[in-house]
Amino acid sequence: MNISPIRSEEDYNKVIQRIDELIDSEPYSDEFNELEVLSILAEDYEEKNFPIGFPDPVEALRYIMEWKGITLNDLEPYIGTKAAVSQILDRKKELTIEMIMRLKKGLKISADVLIPESNEDVPILA
């Protein structure tokens, strides 16, 4: 077992190939231990080089709708009229805090996925 840090995409591809070879290893064998160490290295490399951020609020809402089988009509109690729901999903209007809180409570989802990420630093007022 010759394990070294992943420093390039070529190194990463070799590690992934080796992981594929080891995937069915017997638990607690030398091969299994190698698989575990390589998986940790690959995960670390992926987190640094291929970060996955939260989807934007509309993407998140669309995903939740599909996942839970929710229709536009089902969103009206949380967002407002059918026109308001369409405007949100068409990105013509943004979700308000009130809408986010109603969606959170009514659909049992985390408000975090409905709050847009901001690239701006928000000053803390003293």
Condensed to tens digits (0 to 9), the pLDDT of residues 73-93 reads 999 999 999 999 999 999 999
CATH 1.10.260.40 fits 57-114, yes or no: yes
Condensed to tens digits (0 to 9), the pLDDT of residues 18-39 reads 999 999 999 999 999 999 999 9
For the whole model, what pTM was predicted?
Answer: 0.54
User: E strands of the chain, at which residues?
Assistant: none
Burial label, 75 (beta-carbon count in 10 A; 0-12, 13-18, 19+): buried
